[in-house]
Structure 1
């Protein structure tokens, strides 16, 4: 694999990720690693006509998760090169089909794109977890969910007041918890008494309008190689479940 690091970050985690990835998979196009200064945009992959770009924040590039994050993005690149439908289906099209004729608040619309991205992440991590140990990923999922729960909105203390602190949105946190459980169950990574389950159920309790089990099963049971029409229906369905009636499958 032709991989080049641009931006002053240590190259070792990325070269290590490339070596590990190449034990099972190949990339035809070169990969440029670009280190960004924005800590809120952790990692994302860009795909171009003759190369890929692995964008990563400086904070992530120098963290203990740098190799694992790089492996995840290399997996997205491999899915792109193989033409997997999850990496070519238009999220905008699926969201439009799901929400046609409905008025949706901006935060929920942003959540729909995040949920669709979880589907892509499942397919990328199917590759990642076939070459990499899962321990760090499980710890990462656990820490991210614990942080979101700790950052949940708090009441102002005034009688009759609404929740006023910014914090993490409980509804998307519950969906994210479902994604975390789906990933570990899809690959049989943890036992049923793992702390991740306690955190996930706490997230579900904070968002009674969202069915944790529904979203877990949706992500866990994604078909390995769906057709274009099957995958489009999958995205439309999950968006509807979140926006139109999140608990419909559970009730």
Structure 2
């Protein structure tokens, strides 16, 4: 596996992530790591005909989670090269099918893209959790959710989107509840915590702050995503999740 790290970050976390991934998977295309100055960017992956790019903030690249974040992005690259439906299905197409003819506020539309990212993250983390210990990821999910819950102004459409790997100032209670659902779905899908874990308390607090969002519904949807869906299956699941959030959040949840 060809991984080349640009200036601004130590190479060890990225090479270590590649070594972990190589125990079960390989990448046909080389990986270029680009370090960004914006600390809010976290990590994301871009795919090209002849290589992948792992973008990461300098802050994340030098953090204690650098190897785990890199491994997660490498797992996305594996899914892309596999042609996995979660990474080939167009989000724009699914959202158009789900919301055609409906008026949806920009905030909720932005959150629908984040929900699609969560669904892809489930499949990427199915790989990461097959090759690496889970303890640091669980701690990371807990700390991120705790920060979002503490920062939430209470029920209502305020703040900006935040995901399991990015928490914005003034975290929006609605998407924080979905983030909580994602965190619980991931750890339950892999049997990583017991019923007394603090994540459950945090998730209940997040759900209480967003009473119109079906946190349990989203947890069930994320947790039960099929291992190897067809594009039709994944598109159906994404349409369902989009409608649940954008169109059904106004009714009483769960």
TM-score class normalised by the smaller sequence: over 0.9
Which residue of structure 1 lines up, in the alignment, with residue 164 of structure 2? none
Higher-Rg structure is 1
Q: Does 1:151 align with 2:156?
A: no
Pair 236,78 (structure 1): closer, same or farther in 2 beyond 3 Å: same
- Do 2:45 and 2:54's aligned partners in 1 also have CA atoms closer than 8 Å? yes
In structure 1, C-alpha distance between the alignment counterparts of 2:158 and 2:226, rounded to whole Å: 40
Structure 1 gap segments, 5+ residues each: 156-161
Task: Work out the number of aligned pairs and report it.
Answer: 245
Residue equivalent to 2:42:
42
2: distance between equivalents of 1:29 and 1:178?
Answer: 33
Contact 2:86 2:120 (C-alpha < 8 Å) held by counterparts: yes
Q: Distance in 1 between matches of 2:38 and 2:253?
A: 39
Supply the distance in 1 between the matched residues of 2:84 and 2:214 (Cα, whole angstroms): 28
Give the superposition deviation at 1:230: 1.1
Q: Could you state the TM-score of these two structures normalised by the residue count of structure 2? A: 0.93
1:217 equivalent to 2:220? Answer: yes
Q: Given the alignment, which residue of 207, 218, 240 partners 2:243?
A: 240
Q: Distance in 2 between matches of 1:10 and 1:210?
A: 41
- Divergent runs of 4+, >2 A: 162-166, 246-251
| Contact preservation (8 Å) 1:241, 1:248 | no
Question: Structure 2: how far apart are the matches of 1:6 and 1:241?
Answer: 41
Is the aligned partner of 1:10 residue 2:10? yes
What does residue range 169-180 of structure 1 map to in structure 2 within 5 Å? Answer: 169-180=172-183
Deviation at 1:19, TM superposition (A): 0.8
Q: Structure 1 residue 208 and structure 2 residue 195: aligned?
A: no
| Change over 3 Å in CA distance of 1:242–1:154 after alignment to 2 | closer
> Is the CA contact (8 Å cut-off) linking 1:241 and 1:247 kept in structure 2?
no
* Equivalences for residues 58-137 of structure 1 within 5 A: 58-137=58-137
In 2, Cα distance between equivalents of 1:218 and 1:59: 33
**TM-score of the aligned structures, taking structure 1 as reference length:** 0.94
Deviation readout 1:65-93 (Å, 9 max, x if unpaired): 00000000000000000100100100011
Q: What residue is the counterpart of 1:199 in the other structure?
A: 202
Distance between the aligned counterparts of 1:105 and 1:164, measured in 2? 12
Contact 1:38 1:57 in 2 (8 A): yes
How far apart, CA to CA, are the structure 2 residues paired with 1:38 and 1:136? 23
Residues in 2 aligned to 1:108 and 1:250: alpha-carbon distance in whole angstroms? 16
SS in 1 for 2:69: helix
State the alpha-carbon separation in 1 of the partners of residues 176 and 243 from structure 2: 17
CA–CA distance in 2 between the matches of 1:63 and 1:194? 25
